[in-house]
């Protein structure tokens, strides 16, 4: 199984505090909308760890990570982005169009910061 | 402060270098031409156990510390940067967050397969 880590966005870079992708709670699911860019392994990944903000959390929305499997409705893989020095690996855009994720696919709500920091360190 | 490399890691680095020299480097041209890592290279990385390089030994993986993982990345990147991207994204980023902050069920569904690379 191949995994990828979907954090980077066009307007935010890898600044997790500036994410524009949103996760809205709807009954027992979260609905994600937004886009990512330069996501390594995305074109070949089986499993995606996706970061999104909870805009209904107030002025400083928390972020969460969500675990999504390839083929989930609403998960669209965009064009491959050629990168200098990145030959042999795949990087692409990702789009979330009402991507509905069961609550059980979300590691602890609002702990996205820790998930992000611990993954990166 | 002692900055010497422990014997266990020196031995690991030697084995890694052998893997790189015998199984990975010879595919450099193929990667450049096709844009993809040949499956046999990924098989060799799996067989070495590198997909679980930072997973604890109690789970049957290598259980390398930070220095050991740095050696793994450094040696593989000597062959081709594509190995680093594919391996490191799986082991150090995609799986780590789930392992540390996911539930047991989430780890069962995704983390173990990522660690095994299968």
Q: For residue range A59-109, what is the model confidence (pLDDT) as tens digits?
A: 566 888 898 999 999 999 999 988 877 788 889 999 999 999 998 887 765
Percent of chain A topping pLDDT 70: 84
Q: What is the mean pLDDT of residues A45-57?
A: 86
Length of chain B: 118
Q: What integer pLDDT is reported at residue B15 of this predicted model?
A: 95
- Is B2 among the domain residues? no
Inter-chain CB proximity B89 and A108 less than 8 Å: no
Q: What integer pLDDT is reported at residue A38 of this predicted model?
A: 92
Q: Which helix (H) or strand (E) holds A78?
A: strand A75-80
The residue among B85, B99, B108 with the most chain A CBs within 10 A of its CB, best to mutate, is B85
Query: Rounded CA gap, A24 and A33, in Å?
Result: 9
- Is B36 among the domain residues? yes
Inter-chain CB proximity B114 and A1 less than 8 Å: yes
How many domains, in total, are found in chain A?
Answer: 1
Q: Which helix (H) or strand (E) holds A101?
A: strand A91-102
Does any CB of chain A come closer than 8 Å to the CB of residue B46?
A: no
Does any CB of chain B come closer than 8 Å to the CB of residue A86?
A: yes
- Is B69 among the domain residues? yes
- Is B41 among the domain residues? yes
- Is B85 among the domain residues? yes
- Is B1 among the domain residues? no
Pick from A118, A106, A104, A2: which is nearest to A52 by CA?
A: A106
How many domains, in total, are found in chain B?
Answer: 1
Domain holding A24: CATH number? 2.40.110.10
Distances (CA, A) of B109 to A45, A46, A100, A120, B9: 15, 12, 18, 22, 32
Q: Would you tell me which residues 33-52 of chain A have a C-beta closer than 8 angstroms to some C-beta of chain B?
A: 40-41, 45-47, 49
Q: What is the mean pLDDT of residues A103-117?
A: 71
The residue among B66, B93, B111, B118 with the most chain A CBs within 10 A of its CB, best to mutate, is B93
Q: Which domain holds residue A47?
A: 3-120
Q: Which domain holds residue B90?
A: 7-116
Inter-chain CB proximity A2 and B117 less than 8 Å: yes
- Contacts of residue A88, defined as CB under 8 A and 6 or more positions apart, other chains included, come to B31, B32, B35, B36, B37, B80, B81, B82, B83, B85
SS3 A20: coil
Buried b (16+ CB within 10 A) or exposed e, B79-88: bbbbbbbbbb
Measured over the CA atoms of residue B9, residue B12, residue B14 and residue B17, the dihedral's sign is: negative
Q: What integer pLDDT is reported at residue B17 of this predicted model?
A: 95
Domain holding B53: CATH number? 1.10.540.10
Q: Tens digit of pLDDT per residue, chain B (118 long)?
A: 888 999 999 999 999 999 999 999 999 999 989 888 898 998 898 889 888 787 777 767 788 888 998 999 899 989 998 888 887 777 767 666 777 777 777 766 666 666 666 5
């Amino acid at each position: 199984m191949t995994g990828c880590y979907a954090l980077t966005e066009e307007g935010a870079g890898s600044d997790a505090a500036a994410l524009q992708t949103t996760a809205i709670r709807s009954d027992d699911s979260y609905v994600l909308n937004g886009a990512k860019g330069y996501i390594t392994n995305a074109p070949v990944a089986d499993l995606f760890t996706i970061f999104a903000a909870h805009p209904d959390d107030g002025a400083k929305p928390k972020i969460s990570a969500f675990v999504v499997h390839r083929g989930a409705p609403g998960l669209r893989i965009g064009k491959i982005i050629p990168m200098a020095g990145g030959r042999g690996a795949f990087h692409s855009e990702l789009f979330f169009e009402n991507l509905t994720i069961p609550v059980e696919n979300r590691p602890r709500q609002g702990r996205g910061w820790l998930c992000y920091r611990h993954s990166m360190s | 402060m002692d900055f010497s490399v422990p014997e266990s890691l020196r031995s690991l680095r030697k084995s890694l270098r052998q893997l790189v020299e015998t199984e990975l480097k010879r595919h450099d041209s193929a990667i450049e031409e096709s844009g993809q890592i040949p499956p046999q290279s990924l098989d060799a990385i799996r067989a070495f156990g590198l997909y679980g390089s930072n997973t604890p030994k109690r789970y049957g993986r290598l259980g390398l510390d930070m220095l050991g993982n740095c050696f793994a990345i450094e040696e593989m990147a000597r062959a081709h940067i594509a190995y680093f991207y594919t391996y490191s994204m799986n082991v150090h980023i995609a799986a780590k967050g789930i392992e540390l902050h996911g539930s047991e069920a989430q780890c069962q569904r995704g983390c173990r397969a990522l660690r095994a690379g299968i």
